[in-house]
Chain A
Amino acid sequence: MDILSLFSILSAIGLSGVGSILGIAMTASVSTRLIAEKPERFGMALVFTVLAETPVIYGLLISLFIIMSGSSIDNFYSSLSLLGSGISVGVTGLFSGLGIGIAGSAAIGAISERDDLFGKALVFAVLPESIVIYGLLVSIIIMRGIGLLGVNTLYQANSSTAYASLISSAVVCITGGSGYYLGKTGAKAISSLLKDEDSFGKSIVFVVLIEGIAIYGLLVAILLLKGVNML
């Protein structure tokens, strides 16, 4: 396994891990305060805390894929593409973990006052996770494209495919910054549920406007990869 594959693993698990650490730290600290006063809310608080763990699980998934199959990559350009795969899930995992942590903390705060808001608060807490899903998707497409998850007869290991992989990964990562702001606006939306529960549907509309940016990034990434026969 070459240095680029190793850096890919580092990005995938390291950056998504940092995102999850920050997310879990935020939700866990609020949870411990909540269950000291209301121990019966333990289960609900645990759900929001566990949500923040999903980015690192996706990072772990990609890392395991690379460890198990990365030794079959013996080409510099394929390794460079693989680096893009790791960065894609790592950076989006970082933003996603932060966003889930912020929204999750607000959700735990909301259920401390009204446990019937659990379902609606959960919807807002889950939305930042879509960012790491987009990153994971690009990672999987790249890995599939270079032949790690199936056979791709159209693939050619050259600078175009490598740069396309890196740029598509960068696009998804940069637009993935919306994950953090999804969390922030989601937190505000959860707070507004306490004042007016009926604002739920309309609040979602505002929150997901931010996600539209990440969707554009995903679309461009997919089209780039399609253009170099990685898809």
Chain B
Amino acid sequence: MFKPAKMKKVKLQLPLEQEDQFLDSISKLGILQVKNVEEQVPDLSIVDANVAEEKNNLENLIRRCDAILNKLPKEGIFAQLVRKSNEVFTPSKEQEYELYANAQKILSEAEDKLSTWEKLKKSKFATREQVSSKIFSLLRDNLIVIRKIKETNHIIILEGWIRRKNIAKLKEVVTRTTEGKCILSLEESKVLGKDILRIRLATLTSNYVALEGALSSYGLAKLTVEAEEEKGAEFESVEEAIDISSIKQKVSLLKKVLLNRLEIIKAKEKLARSKFFVYLEGWIKEKDISKLTSLLKDGHYDYRLSLEDPKEGEEDRVPVALENPPLIRSFEVVTTMFGYPKYNQIDPTPFLAITFALFFGLMFADVFDGLLLLAFSLLLYHGLGSRSQGGRKLSEILIAISFSSILFGFLFGEFMGGIVNLPVVWFSGFENPMYFLEVAIVIGITQLTIGFIIGFINELLRHRIKNAIGEKLSWLLLLYGIIVILLHFYYLQNDLYLYFGSMLTISGIFLILITKPMDLIEITRMISNVVSYARIVAINMSHIGISRAFALLAAPLLSPESGIIGFLLGGALLLIAHVFIVFIESFVAFAHSLRLHFVEFFSKFFEPAGNVFMPLSVVKK
């Protein structure tokens, strides 16, 4: 916590024949980031030409996989969020090899099926439902619906549909027109129901025109879709006909295998080789060193290993892995949206976890809305959260901030815009906006202070004393100097505060002038940063205002005079209104909490120039 994980540089030598086995095993652990060899080792070369060719091949295959997967239908957004994870199938080594060996064949088959699927989709009558509904509508005004299946010089075969009650009429017309020279078969249509019969009619081609004319007088409609295009009509949908789900499964699995193989190839490119040995450099977290040594010992590798601390001046190149306890870990997603801190800088995630939840809770303070948001977050946790790490972290953040909303809802006495009167434990933001504004500004100044202090410490850790004083300490003095002077004029009215405030202000300005004089024009930005926290009040008041408006609208319906129906209508109105409020206002509160951190807080200390720690690892899902 507070600093990224301690890293060690790894230097490892292995026999050439153990290279593949080692890379395969270490990728399953996911603890080692392989980097380009920097040390000058005699008799070693870096590039392996065979690897480059396999790499190109893998990348092409992966592109084909992506092209196929992108064309397949995706779930709707709500289903994506709440669907639980399916069991993850992990192929064995032999299955992986087989998939890789047959990759071209698998992809070619998938591409053929995909193109058939796309052709069927474009056809007007590709699905059973579309064909059925067309036939139903045509049979309303016609005796029969037909289409030609086959026509030669002598024989014509027709297929058609007719209502059961009209069979006798059809038989009479067909027998009369063809003089009995026809074959007619009837069967119940499995798709269209018992009332509609499917017919097959074979007769002489020379009889067709007369037959067509005779049937037209009773109502004849022709189905223009070709039989091949109606392939999918036997199935529930085109997707089932082409078995899209198995294509998706196979190609996704193949892609996983290819990506894993590509990761290993990319790692191989960075290794150096001699005739008998392979030489590897990388980074590992200090806490994972025991796993590496166990792997090398248990795998009976003939190895030579050396572990070093990062050298002086090398800190900018050390990869960064954030390390936080479970409750705070989810908020790393928010920090890393902005960027990664450098290796020797403070990790702001622990501070952000508290203040993000705090700001959101203040802006979205309502017990009922917090409960609705909590319900959605739990749904998301079990759905998307079970399928992806990012989804899990997002749902954990939402759970945390919904608890914060509930807490501040109780503190401010807010429940559904006043439908239920809760006691005000702290103060009502809506009734006391000026007090709320003071609280918001105090919270903002506290956060800015923490930002300046972190910035000050970061500069000291990097031995940049001038920056620590000129960019951080000076502005902190200036900020508090101005605050103390304002407190003197508005609240305290004691000359001691005026003198003290003036001293702080002058000291701050002096330090800025002697270190970075041009930065003095940024004083307006500091005022803007402080005032920016007023948005907490604005968003809270708009949230409560909207809730109260809907409560006012629903109040007549909820009164005893309106009866049970009025009560139910009022309840439904309020529920719909609050679902809308949670949907819209939570986005707003989230975005503005994010903005306060990225702009006001991070700008005081955060240089998002860290390199992400990316260990060699298998693709899990």
Contact = CB atoms under 8 A, between A and B. Distances in A.
Interface of A: 40, 42-44, 47, 50-51, 54, 57-58, 61, 64-65, 68, 115, 120, 122-123, 126-127, 129-130, 133-134, 136-137, 140-141, 149-150, 198, 200-202, 204-205, 208, 212, 215-216, 218-219, 222, 226, 231
Interface stretch (B28-36, B292-300, B538-546): B538-546
B188 to A, nearest CB: 35
B553 A64 contact: yes
Contacts of A204: 594-595, 598-599
B592 A130 contact: yes
B211 interface: no
Contacts of B539: 130, 133
B541 to A, nearest CB: 5
Given A140-B545, A204-B599, A219 B531 contact: yes
A200 B545 contact: no
A13 to B, nearest CB: 14
Interface of B: 73-78, 337-339, 431, 433-434, 437, 528, 531-532, 534-535, 537-539, 541-542, 545-546, 548-549, 552-553, 584, 587-588, 591-592, 594-595, 598-599, 602-603, 608
A208 to B, nearest CB: 5
B9 to A, nearest CB: 25
B608 A40 contact: no
A140 B436 CA distance: 15
B588 A126 contact: yes
A133 B599 contact: no
Nearest to B434: A231
Main SS at interface, chain A: helix
B545 A61 contact: yes
Main SS at interface, chain B: helix
Contact of B431 (A43, A47, A127, A150): A150
B332 to A, nearest CB: 14
Given A140-B542, A149-B548, A201-B608, A40 B76 contact: yes
- Residue of B74, B434, B591 most packed against chain A (CB within 10 A): B591
Contacts of A43: 76-78
A40 B338 CA distance: 29
Contacts of B433: 141, 231
- Residue of B339, B532, B549 most packed against chain A (CB within 10 A): B549
A60 to B, nearest CB: 9
Nearest to B81: A43
Nearest to B75: A40
A134 B434 CA distance: 15
Given A40-B73, A198-B339, A219 B598 contact: no
Contacts of B546: 57-58, 61
A61 B542 CA distance: 11
